[in-house]
Amino acid sequence: MAELLRQEKAYELFKRYHGNPILSGDNWPYPTNAVFNPAAAKLNTETLLLVRVEDMRGFSHLTVARSADGFTNWEIDPEPTLEADQSSREEKWGLEDPRIIWLEEQKQFAVTYVSFSEGGPVVSLAITKNFKTFARLGSLLPPEDKDACLFPRRFNGRFALIHRPIVRGEAHMWISFSPDLKHWGDHRPLIMSRTAFWDCHRVGLACQPIETPQGWMLFYHGVRMTSAGAIYRVGLALLDLEAPWRVLRRGDEWVLGPHAPYERIGDVSDVVFPTGAVVHKETDQLNLYYGAADSTVAVATASLSDCIDYVMSCPEVNS
């Protein structure tokens, strides 16, 4: 019974915005195939999305869209905001799936994104104050690696990065550490895919980690392969506040999965892929921005305190 009650709570956590999808290729100021998987941040009072835009070669770049309320009247940069550096072999086939975090010490935003190199996907880092000019710090770890985000502050003097290397064909989430954002080590497995569950084939970070008094709330995507293809859903875990390599809780069930028509049908069907969140502490509202079916951008809202209650009711993890 307790299991069923928790599943009901999980099911009711998020409400899809009635105006979804909020962004599609039709809104774009220049030709695109698809716009999806956006990073999100609050910039002054605005919501800023750094959207993955796929062109008609199948290569992606990143473009900023801004809105006062985070739902409507998006102002989109007239040209790509961050494009592959054609002189760099790491970025030969484009930039994908960014995540944004505010680095407290540097007083700058850190954008981690996937650079598609000839040798496979790698995680790269760029720093910016205004999303107009970027300092590119290059690739962080060898391929194949994706789904990365920094934490906003150091732990015992070191920066921490969640990422998702592919090893022996397996896709688990790892955490690594660095004294300077350049040299990474002390790599540790963090969240593993789980046999038989909805997240049995792959897991990877969703949006940036969200700091709460109980710990870091960690949304992640999980994949199950079926005879009809992969299904991408979203789950919730909680990491220790001062030792984020420790997983405290992890939900058994997903909290958001493909259900609406725009999530079920698209370039890649049955995909809900969050890559950004904005928290409005004053109203306890969490806006989760996601790519829907690798075609459009959608948003779902939740109460932050309900998410915390839910994750605190999830099974404890010994790690």
Q: Give the interface with ligand BMA as residue ranges (CB under 6 A).
A: 37, 96-97, 232, 268, 271, 273, 291, 294
Q: How many residues does the chain have?
A: 319
Instruction: Report helix, strand or coil for 178.
Output: strand
> Least distance to ligand BMA from the beta carbon of 191, Å?
16
> Least distance to ligand BMA from the beta carbon of 274, Å?
10
> Least distance to ligand BMA from the beta carbon of 35, Å?
12
Q: Which residue is nearest to ligand BMA (CB)?
A: 268
Nearer CB in complex with ligand BMA: 159/273: 273
> Least distance to ligand BMA from the beta carbon of 291, Å?
5
Nearer CB in complex with ligand BMA: 204/244: 204
> Least distance to ligand BMA from the beta carbon of 278, Å?
20
Q: Are strands 210-212 and 202-205 parallel, antiparallel or unpaired?
A: unpaired
Nearer CB in complex with ligand BMA: 165/244: 165
Nearer CB in complex with ligand BMA: 65/279: 65
List, in order, residues 6 or more apart from 261 with CB less than 8 Å away: none
Nearer CB in complex with ligand BMA: 97/145: 97
Q: What is the distance between the alpha carbons of residues 218 and 208, in angstroms, rounded to a whole number?
A: 8
Q: Are strands 95-103 and 108-117 parallel, antiparallel or unpaired?
A: antiparallel
Please, what is the Cα angle at 38 between 12 and 271, to 5 degrees? 55
Q: What is the distance between the alpha carbons of residues 216 and 171, in angstroms, rounded to a whole number?
A: 21
Identify the residue whose tokens are 């869209």. 65
Beta-bridge partner residues of 176: 161
